[in-house]
Amino acid sequence: MARICGVTQAAVWKWMKKRRPLPAEHVLVAEAQTGVSRHDLRPDIYPRDAGAPAIPPHGSVVVSDATAVACDRGAAPHSYGAGA
């Protein structure tokens, strides 16, 4: 997450330790790189539309640029781009 957001690992650790949500300026980049919806990352600033599903169907894989994130732990390995 630190690499995706362009911050240090210490910064991410502080967000987690203080139970802070992902800062708003990083939400769209995190969504694009991980496939996790902005609605799930920050529902307080990106409310979900009534008809939108909360999560992708079981076993599906969300792909965004060089990122593939499996929605089922056994479906596919995680890939975070060429440098990972």
Q: What residues in the chain have per-residue pLDDT under 70?
A: 50-84
Q: What is the pLDDT of residues 25-39, one digit of tens each?
A: 999 999 999 999 999
Sequence spans of domains, the chain: 2-80
Q: What is the pTM of this model?
A: 0.55
Question: What pLDDT is attached to residue 33?
Answer: 94
> In whole angstroms, what separates CA 26 from the centre of its chain?
10
